[in-house]
Amino acid sequence: MWGMSETPPESPDFDAMARDIAEVPAVEVIVTVAVNLMSAAAVKLGLTEEGDKHKDLDEARKLVHALAGLLDASTTEISSFHAAPLRDGLKSLQLAFREASLVPDEPGKGPGEKYTGPVYG
C-alpha cells in the first residue's frame, strides 16, 4: 500500500475505455468473449503445446459450460457466419473434455450439454 508521501498508482482512464468500447459492435464483443473462453478451455484441457502443464478439468468444465451458455444465449443475435465456427469449436472442446475424463459424464451431462444436448464422437 502506498503511504501519504508516495504518489498513488496511475489509475486507468475509464472514460477513454468507455469511448473505445462504445465503438465496438456487440457481435464483435460476443465473438471475442467466446474466443477467449475457447482459448482458456483449451489450455485447461491440456490442448496447447505445453500439454498437461496447465491441465485442470474442473476449470475446463466451467469454461466450456460458460461458452455453451453464451453461444446458446446469443444464437439469435449473431449471424451463422460467426456462430457456426464457434459451435464447431465448442463441440471439439466438449469431445476433448470427454476424452480427457477418467470417468466420462453420462450423455447429456457433460460441460455445456445442458445447452447443446448430448455430444457424441
Burial call 46-77: b when 16+ CB within 10 Å, e when fewer:
bbeeeeeebbebeebbbbbbbbbebbeebeee
Q: How far is CA 9 from CA 1, 12, 15, 103, in A?
A: 10, 10, 17, 48
What total number of domains does the chain contain? 1
Residue 75 lies inside a defined structural domain of this protein? yes
Determine the Cα–Cα distance for residues 118 and 48; give it in Å rounded to an integer.
25
Residue 118 lies inside a defined structural domain of this protein? no
Confidence of residue 52 (pLDDT cuts 50, 70, 90): confident
| 61-101 residue pLDDT tens | 999 999 999 999 998 999 999 999 999 999 999 999 999 99
Residue 121 lies inside a defined structural domain of this protein? no
Residue 9 lies inside a defined structural domain of this protein? no
Residue 8 lies inside a defined structural domain of this protein? no
Residue 60 lies inside a defined structural domain of this protein? yes
- Domain of residue 66 covers 25-100
Determine the Cα–Cα distance for residues 78 and 35; give it in Å rounded to an integer.
14
Residue 56 lies inside a defined structural domain of this protein? yes
pTM of the model: 0.83
Q: Which residue has the cell 508516495?
A: 6
